[in-house]
A and B are shown apart, each in its own frame.
Chain A
């Protein structure tokens, strides 16, 4: 597999290609800062209610506390997830996932592929699910979750969510020991590496996240996004309200990186976010129901 080293963009292309062949829509990233692909409305909202859905997309993720000033080979505050959503989860979902690894040239008779229990919960999204981390020779390369609840609502049918940690997968496939050494693409003018694109970003953003972000202003923003979200929700503008929740969530993460929120206060903030997202989920369900769950047609 190292003969024609699969580039970072090559991995994305193959995975998208594979899942497109499994009848997934190829969607595009959400243009807001999120901590995980699950926040994308195409996962969070689509997992609510009876309407079927199948999609794949790449989502850039930001986790300010994971920044290491570009000094740590494995942790960065900005990275990419490739997210697959299958609703209802097909019975052969594990096999499909393994086939996607095969499509990347990973031979499960050579590599040790394992489904290791990992139950997922996002208190902010009022969501939880059961599933695994997928290990490849001891490295976690994906998260695999059967959603049981989102936004405080029982998932029926159940959505299967597959999340590939693209950097981890690329490091693995390319046999490199640092994120920054991942080959992004080998073009006619030579190779371009992940570090060429993102190292400066990691350095500067780590400084910003940990040292420079204006705490007072962030607290005000949190208040604003929360109030605004509730106001929009009352007007039944669920998508804008949900965007406010996402923005508030990122502000919360920044405050966390600045150590501005104490352990006990944390719970309070998470609860406030949860109140908003649960409100969004409920209202979204009602609106879709009023519309007769349009995506149910033809299924």
Chain B
């Protein structure tokens, strides 16, 4: 008899939500991993299986019994446990009683305070089979079910109704009642191909047995089969299937026996914007779209069914009918939307509230237009087109197509703009102005798209801050964090010399008295905070960011250049010594602020060679560095300054700044002021 046996738990249920499956099975496997560790039970590999109708865990070589445990207890000191007559005291007897033994059988143990009573015994191991029902209950109760439900007349809740429980340890069923079902060795195959019960003899048969019953229990294997099928079926039409990962995961989670098929749709739908066709196929039909080698959409789709159909053509024809109907719907929206110009749609924006106290979307687009125009003016871009794009950028929100597919906002507007003979620059800007829509999304490609994107985002930031809906914790319903970072990323990407202070000023003015005076500052600070986290995530030290922020550069691009420069500076060998020197300078100057009014360095008063050398170097470096500052070549400037390090160090080593002679002292302080000004033009290096 081995000391180990395989274990299997299977929870059979009605079709589980796809997103919940991965979460549940991971939690189940991890639950066993840690639960068994807590019991001190050794085991081999844990295999996790999930399909729409089952969650299962097969654990190899699980120890049958928990290890014996040595129980050890120290009792009172002998001086307290035994009286003068050598008889046990009540304290001594009490200890014996609490250990469940006679006093005489207690041992003695030396301790640093003297000998004490001592009890040891060995607790036998517990049978794993007896522990398992409670352990399963505990693990299942802790599963993170996104939306638990009840069914029938019972109080049990789970992700979906539970139909059977397999609970095997070796060849034995462990009797238990889990989620309302009595444990058994009976599992069930595919809903239609193998609805009959199958008796499992032992855990290791699980996967193979189900395979014969038309169930691929391992999600990874199922997915692999799907991917293989996808690629196979498109080969016949010389196409390439576009595998959208999220869709692939979803499809894997709604079949137990995937059968991939190719369907066709009516070619004339290809005149409808492909974004809409793709969404209709992916979202509504959970089907994959097909492209040719040049990435042009082909009139095919690939579906994944859950049946080895007795008449596969029936399945294909049925799906084709549905896809054609879906696409007909999209075409209907596209055709009916185009009966009106985009400008006409824009007029209906006055029916849609942007935010209760901030007016309608029409009001918003008017603000965006004015702001976009102002930005375009600053950048010498086409002001008229900027205004127009701003005015029209939200118009597609009233279109039927966007009503059906909200993801197409902006994209449809762009199509309709082109159809309404708007300038192509305007159409492109409309398509791009929502970007970046998520963390890794692309930034607008066209300059005007970038302008409108900035204007729209700043308008939302100022407006929502004005009504006090400032993001807190995970509450950011208007995605202001993303908007804030989006604005900064766009400006930096474009290398535009835009002044954030001025932009916010303008955006606030457009709200009139709705945006109070302090709003601008709060938005600015909020944006800087996002900026900071963004850079920290990219591995830039917070103090580097703070060093630049201390200078409050208002142009985000300029900010980014300074940041890069300081980061490079920090990697120089001299940087630590220089940062220390700057700290020292700051401390000294802070204390002596009053003495510094209008002080200039008088060369005749420079006595020590070290201070003379420093002054000469400063004058020389200033000549070199000031033009670099003006050209925003901060990195080069700091590199040049770094060479001052030995001169500065020897100055501090040999010169007494706080000389007794007031004139000397003030002159040296003035020298330090010069030093600080030269160094801190890029960033406050004393923060480092």
Q: CB within 8 Å of B: which residues of A?
A: 68, 71-75, 88-91, 94, 107-117, 119, 129-130, 132, 136-139, 146, 148, 155-158, 160, 171-172, 177, 259, 262-265
Contact = CB atoms under 8 A, between A and B. Distances in A.
Contacts of A160: 151
Given A109-B193, A117-B17, A137 B149 contact: no
Given A68-B332, A259-B348, A107 B161 contact: no
B325 A117 contact: no
Interface of B: 14-15, 17-18, 52, 147, 149-153, 160-161, 163, 191-193, 254-255, 285-287, 303, 305-307, 309-311, 314-315, 317-319, 321-325, 328-329, 332, 348, 351-353, 355-356, 360, 398
B152 A89 contact: yes
B325 A73 contact: yes
Contact of B325 (A74, A110, A148, A156): A74
Contact of B315 (A130, A137, A265): A137
B306 A112 contact: yes
8 interchain residue pairs of minimum CB distance? A137-B318, A264-B353, A138-B319, A112-B305, A115-B15, A157-B153, A117-B17, A88-B153
A177 B318 contact: no
A114 B150 CA distance: 21
A48 to B, nearest CB: 15
B152 A116 contact: no
Given A108-B192, A109-B309, A137 B314 contact: yes
B328 A110 contact: no
B149 A112 contact: no
Contacts of B285: 138
Contacts of A158: 149-153
B301 to A, nearest CB: 10
A108 B310 CA distance: 9
A111 B318 contact: yes
B460 to A, nearest CB: 15
The winner among B15, B348, B352 for most chain A CB atoms within 10 A is B15
Given A262-B353, A263-B352, A138 B318 contact: yes
- Between B149, B329, B348, the greatest number of chain A beta carbons within 10 A of the residue's beta carbon is seen for B149
Given A72-B332, A117-B254, A264-B355, 13 more contacts: A68-B332, A90-B152, A91-B152, A110-B307, A111-B314, A114-B255, A137-B305, A137-B314, A146-B151, A155-B150, A177-B321, A259-B348, A264-B353
B305 A74 contact: no
Given A88-B153, A177-B324, A107 B310 contact: yes
A158 B318 CA distance: 33
A116 B254 contact: yes
Nearest to A72: B332
B147 A119 contact: yes
Contacts of B17: 117, 119
B14 A72 contact: no
B329 A75 contact: yes
A114 B306 contact: yes
Contacts of A259: 348, 351, 398
Contacts of A72: 328-329, 332
Contacts of A113: 192, 307
B353 A139 contact: no
Contacts of B332: 68, 71-72
Nearest to B311: A110
A91 B386 CA distance: 62
Nearest to A172: B318
A74 B152 contact: no
A121 B617 CA distance: 75
A259 B345 CA distance: 13
A89 B318 contact: no
B307 A109 contact: yes
A9 to B, nearest CB: 23
A137 B319 contact: yes
A111 B317 CA distance: 10
B328 A264 contact: no
A204 B17 CA distance: 41
Given A75-B329, A88-B152, A130-B147, A117 B322 contact: no
B149 to A, nearest CB: 4
A94 B13 CA distance: 11
A148 B150 contact: yes
A130 B149 contact: yes
A132 B13 CA distance: 14
B328 A74 contact: yes
Q: Which of A74, A119, A132 has the most CB of B within 10 A?
A: A74
A120 B300 CA distance: 31
A117 B250 CA distance: 11
B152 A157 contact: yes
B353 A265 contact: yes
A177 B320 CA distance: 11
Contacts of A139: 318, 321-322
Contacts of A172: 318
B322 A110 contact: no
A157 B154 CA distance: 7
Contacts of A171: 321
B328 A73 contact: yes
A111 B259 CA distance: 12
A290 B353 CA distance: 46
Nearest to A52: B153
Given A74-B328, A177-B321, A263-B353, A111 B315 contact: yes
6 contacts: A111-B307, A119-B17, A148-B150, A158-B149, A158-B150, A177-B325
A112 B191 CA distance: 11
Contact of B310 (A94, A110, A263): A110
A130 B160 contact: yes
A163 B156 CA distance: 25
B567 to A, nearest CB: 45
A117 B15 contact: yes
A40 to B, nearest CB: 22
B309 A111 contact: yes
B310 A109 contact: yes
A53 to B, nearest CB: 13
Given A108-B192, A137-B318, A158-B151, A91 B348 contact: no
A110 B309 contact: yes
Contacts of B255: 114
Contacts of A91: 151-152, 161, 163
B340 to A, nearest CB: 13
A156 B157 CA distance: 12
B395 to A, nearest CB: 14
Given A110-B311, A117-B18, A139-B322, A89 B151 contact: yes
Contacts of B325: 73-74, 177
Contacts of A177: 321, 324-325
A116 B504 CA distance: 47
B15 A137 contact: no
A294 B323 CA distance: 49
A117 B317 CA distance: 23
